[in-house]
Structure 1
Amino acid sequence: MNAISSIQTNTAGHGRKLLPILAIVAVLSAAPWFASEFVLHLAILTCLNILAVNGLALIGRSGQLSLGHAAFMAIGAYASVLAANMLGLSFIPSLLIGVAATAIVTFVLGWAILRLRGVYFVLVTFAFGELVRLVLLDFSGITGGANGITGIPAITLFGFSFDSRETFYGLALVAALLSTWGLYRLFTRPLGQAIDSVAVNPALAEATGLSVHRLQIFSFVAGCSLAAIAGVLQSRYIGYISPESFNTSISIGLIIMLVIGGRLSSWGPFVGAIVLTPLPELFRGAVQTQHIFYGAVLILILRFMPGGLADLPARLRARLKR
C-alpha cells in the first residue's frame, strides 16, 4: 500500500506542474504559424508523434513495452483509408472505423499476450508488427502492396477542408494537446493510479482487489487507439501510405522519444517528440551519425537522468535549493 500511496502523491505533484507547462508549450507551438513551410511541416510531424508517443506511454505505465506500436498506426490508417475509398465514407466515420478496427485487433491480441512479461511481451509485439507489414505487402490487391495507396484526400470537416499546412497544423496541435491533457487527467484519477500500481507491484495490486490483466488490456487498447488516430491523421496529411511508412524503425523511434522525454511523466512524450522529431533533418545525408547520436543520448539519459528530460526542471530546482 505504501507503493500505491507514493504513486498517488507523485502523480498529484506532476499534475500541479503540468498545466502551466502545457500552457507555455501551447504558446510556443503556435510559432510555426509564422514560420516557413518547412518548419510548419516539422511541427505537424511533431504533433503526430506526440499523439503516438502518448499512446505508447499509456501502455508503458501499465508495465509493458510495445515494439510494434507502428503496426497499430498502420491498422488504423489502412482501415480508415479503405473504408473511405470502398464505402465512400467521410472523414469522421472512416476515422471511427480505423480506431474501432485497431481496438478490436488490440483487444484480441492483448487478451492473448498480456500475461507475458518483460522481453517475451516485447518480442511478441515485434513479431506482430512484422506480421502486419507482411500482410500489407502480400494483400496487394487491397492494400496496394509495396506501392501503397496514393491520392488520399485531405480532411474535410463540416464543409471546411484542412488542405493546407496551416490549417492541418491547427488540427494536429489540438489533437496533441488533447491527448496530453487526457493522459494527465487519467493519471490523476483512481483508474490511472491503479494502472501505475500495476506497473510498480502487480502482486500487491492483485492482492488489493485490482484486476491486473483487465487494467493492462485497457491501457493496451487505449494506447493503440491513440496510435491509430495518429496513423489516420498522418495518412490524410501526406496523402500516401505504404507498409514502409509503419516499419519497425518507426516503433523504435517512438520508444526513444518516450524514454528521452520521460516515460513516467504526463508531459514526457510531449518533450521527447518536440526534441527528437526535428533531429533527422540535422543529420540529413548522415544516417550513421544520426544513429550514433541517438545511441549516445539514450545511454546518457538512462545513466544520469532515468526519468528523462521531464525530470530536468525538478533537478534544477533541487540544485538551486542546495
Structure 2
Amino acid sequence: MQDRDITLPAPASSGQGGRGITLLAAALACLVLAPWVARQDFYLHLAVLVCINIVITSGLSVLMRCGQVSLCHGAFVGLGAYAATLATMQLGLPFAAGVLCAMLLTAALALVLGAVMLRLTGVYFVLITFAFGELVRLGLLEWEGLTGGANGITGVPPAELLGMALDTKAAFYGLAAGIALLSVAGLWRLFRSPAGHTIDAVGENAALAEVSGLSVRRTQLFAFVVASAMAGLGGALLAHYVGYISPESFTFSVSVGAIIMLVVGGRAYILGPVIGALVMTPLPEFFRGAVQSQNIFYGCAVILMLRFMPQGLAGLAARRGTREGGAR
C-alpha cells in the first residue's frame, strides 16, 4: 500500500451541474469580452497574464487531481520559454513551430523524469520535484553560451499568426484567450472521458485503484506529462509576450504561485484554474513595493482556504448550487 504523506481534498465529480456550467460560461465570457471592456493597456496586460496563468494552471490541475503536488512546474514553464525562444531566434523556426518544440521538449523530459520520480510518493515526490526545479534554474544560470546566464535573452520576437505579427497587447490577448479557452475545453473533455475518471480514481485512493486493476504509475505519468507540456506552452506564450526571459523569471515562486491559484480556485474543478487565475493574477499589483506583505497575505489566504474552503471558490459555488437545488 502506498504511503500518502500529503493529504489533499478528494476530487469532485467531473459533472458540476447546471450552476457550475453557468459559472464556467460566465468566467469564459469575461475573458472574451475583456478587450472591449478594458481599454487601458494596463488592464489588457493583466488580462493577457490571466490567460497565460490559466494555461499553466490547467496542466497542473490534471496532476493535482491525480493526487500529486509538483514543485518543479515553474521549471517546466522556464524550459518551455527557453525552448520556444531558442527555436525562433537560433533556428529561425516560425512562432507556431517554436511553441510546438517547447511542448514536445517539456513533455519528453517529463516522460523520462516521471518514470523515475513517480516511484516516490507523498513528501518524497514533492522534495525531488523541488530539487529538479532548482537544478533547472542553476543550469539556466550556468549555461551562459546558450541561455545568456543571469542576463537572460532579450529581443524575443513577437508572436505571429497567419503571417501577422501580434505585437500589440490587444492582438496578443486574442491569441492568449483562444489558447486559454482551448485549455479549459480540453480539461472539460478529459475529465468526462475514461482517462479522466481513472485520474480521479487514482487521486482519491491510489491503493484501491491499484487493487481494482488500474495502473496508478501509468496514470500519474500521463498526468505529469500533460502538466509539463501545458507548462511549456504557457512559458512559450510568456516569452513571446514579454520579449525577455531570464532564469530569475522561473524560480520556485512560480510553482508555488500556480499551486496557490489552484487552491484558491479549486483544484478539483474544471472552473478552478479560471477562477484562481482571475483572482490571484491581479493581486500583486495591490502589493507593489511591499513584497513581504504580499507573502504574508498569500500565506494567510492559503491557510484559511485549506481550513474553511478546501475545495476552493469553485467548490463553494458548487455546494451553494447543490443546496439551492435541494431546497427547490
Q: How many residues align?
A: 315
Equivalent pairs: percent with the same residue? Answer: 53
> Could you tell me how far apart the structure 2 residues matched to 1:101 and 1:10 are?
32
After TM superposition, list the pairs within 5 Å mapping 1:140-289 onto structure 2: 140-289=144-293
**Range that drifts further, 24-33 or 143-152:** 24-33
Question: Residue 309 of structure 1 aligns with which residue?
Answer: 313
Question: Residue 29 of structure 2 aligns with which residue?
Answer: 27
Question: Residue 76 of structure 1 aligns with which residue?
Answer: 80
Residues 263-317 of structure 1 show CA distances to partners (whole Å, capped at 9, x for unaligned) of 1111111101100100000111111111111111111111111100011223334
Question: Residue 4 of structure 1 aligns with which residue?
Answer: none
The structural deviation recorded for 1:318 is: 5.4
Question: Residue 98 of structure 1 aligns with which residue?
Answer: 102
The structural deviation recorded for 1:255 is: 0.7
Residues 139-185 of structure 1 show CA distances to partners (whole Å, capped at 9, x for unaligned) of 10110000000001111121122111001111111111111111111
Contact 2:11 2:203 in 1 (8 A): no
Q: Of 292, 296, 299, which residue of structure 2 is paired with 1:292? A: 296
Secondary structure in 2 matching 1:132: helix
> Could you tell me how far apart the structure 2 residues matched to 1:45 and 1:194 are?
32
**TM-score, reference length from structure 2:** 0.92
**TM-score, reference length from structure 1:** 0.94
Gaps of 5+ in 2: 1-9
Q: Which amino acid is the alignment partner of residue 231 of structure 2? A: A
Contact 1:42 1:277 in 2 (8 A): yes
Gaps of 5+ in 1: 1-6
Contact 1:33 1:166 in 2 (8 A): no
> Could you tell me how far apart the structure 2 residues matched to 1:181 and 1:267 are?
10
Residues 233-279 of structure 1 show CA distances to partners (whole Å, capped at 9, x for unaligned) of 00000001000111001111111111111111111111011001000
**Range that drifts further, 111-120 or 205-214:** 205-214
Contact 1:103 1:225 in 2 (8 A): yes
> Could you tell me how far apart the structure 2 residues matched to 1:126 and 1:208 are?
32
Task: Say if 1:233 and 1:15 are closer, same or farther in 2 by CA, change over 3 A.
Answer: farther
- Cα RMSD over matched residues? 1.7
**Range that drifts further, 22-31 or 92-101:** 22-31
Are 1:10 and 2:13 an aligned pair? yes
Secondary structure in 1 matching 2:75: helix
Are 1:85 and 2:97 an aligned pair? no
Question: Residue 127 of structure 2 aligns with which residue?
Answer: 123
Task: Say if 1:9 and 1:217 are closer, same or farther in 2 by CA, change over 3 A.
Answer: closer
Q: Which amino acid is the alignment partner of residue 134 of structure 2? A: E
